[in-house]
Amino acid sequence: MTSAQHLWCRASPSSSPSSGDTRRVPRRLVVILTTAVVCLAGQQGSLAAADEPGPRKDPQWSTGGDARACSGPIWPNSLNTTPGPGQGRRVLVIGDSLTRNGRKPLKRALREDGWTPTVRCFGGKRLDWAIAQAKRAKELDQLPATVVVAIGTNDMRWIDRGTTASRMKELLRVLGPRRTVMWVDTYASGGDRFTREKERWFNRQVKQLAADSNNLHHIRWGSWARDQKVPFADALHYTTRGTKTWASRVADEVSRMAG
């Protein structure tokens, strides 16, 4: 019920008519009864609305007109019932432009394994953004038991190693020890400020954090992609074939590790 309806209901007549107005009793009774029915219906509608599930989209999500942004994350109301390791289970993927480019084949592959995926991605973003996304998902009660992190390339291009290492630990702290977290490591072409040496350093951090944590799993992408000769389209991003290979590898590892 709106505030205007609420005020109208409170102001509507509810007492009996005076004795000098007996000939108008039928009409006033009709008005009173009609008002009561409308008010009760409005109150019931308000209660029903309060019981509805939360928004499927994050109302605060904004692209800011940035072409690097993904569309808003979708939180499906119903769970995927496809048989597989992820049947009846949700997974949240937090990523940058590599996830943005591969989100369609990634979601398709995850759904084929029974998962119900939600993706939060934005090109050019770093770990501080990933931390904020994890917190926001938690506020919406949309932080599931399984989370995939595919962030790190832009941190290694722009942020010092001490800050990056600290943010990696902070992200894990926000996600908490009871969730299954899978971190996709990095794969460098050697161009655009992302050298092979930076790749190796970052991937070692993921490996060490996974060794020190019971709930973090390391998805080895960099070394595997190099062995498979996954091709780059530019200094940072993969070709269409490479992107599909990335999506397939991530989905397979998620199902293998969580299954």
- 199-224 pLDDT tens trace: 999 999 999 999 999 999 999 999 99
Phi, psi dihedral angles at 57 (to 5 degrees): -115, 150
pLDDT at 29 over 90: no
The more confidently predicted of residues 75 and 3 is 75
Break the chain into its structural domains and give their ranges: 3-51, 89-258
Radius of gyration of the chain (CA): 27
The answer to whether the CB of 84 falls within 8 A of the CB of 114 is: yes
Nearest CA-CA partner of 125 in 152, 147, 143 = 152
Split at pLDDT 50, 70, 90, the class of 259 is confident
Specify the pTM: 0.79
Superfamily for domain range 89-258: SGNH hydrolase (3.40.50.1110)
What is the average pLDDT score of the chain? 85
What percentage of the chain has pLDDT greater than the value 90?
A: 78
Nearest CA-CA partner of 151 in 103, 195, 93 = 93
pLDDT at 80 over 50: yes
What pLDDT shows up at residue 13? 42
- Copy the structure tokens of residue 185: 């490591």
- Copy the structure tokens of residue 213: 């944590």
- DSSP per-residue letters across 69-98: BPPPPB--SS----SSTTTTEEEEEEE-HH
- Copy the structure tokens of residue 31: 């008005």
Percent helix, strand, coil in the chain, to 5, is 50, 15, 35
Model confidence over 59-79: pLDDT tens digits? 999 999 999 999 999 999 999
The label of the residue with tokens 């480019």 reads: 101
Q: What is the mean pLDDT of residues 41-54?
A: 38
Q: What is the mean pLDDT of residues 29-58?
A: 44
pLDDT at 249 over 50: yes
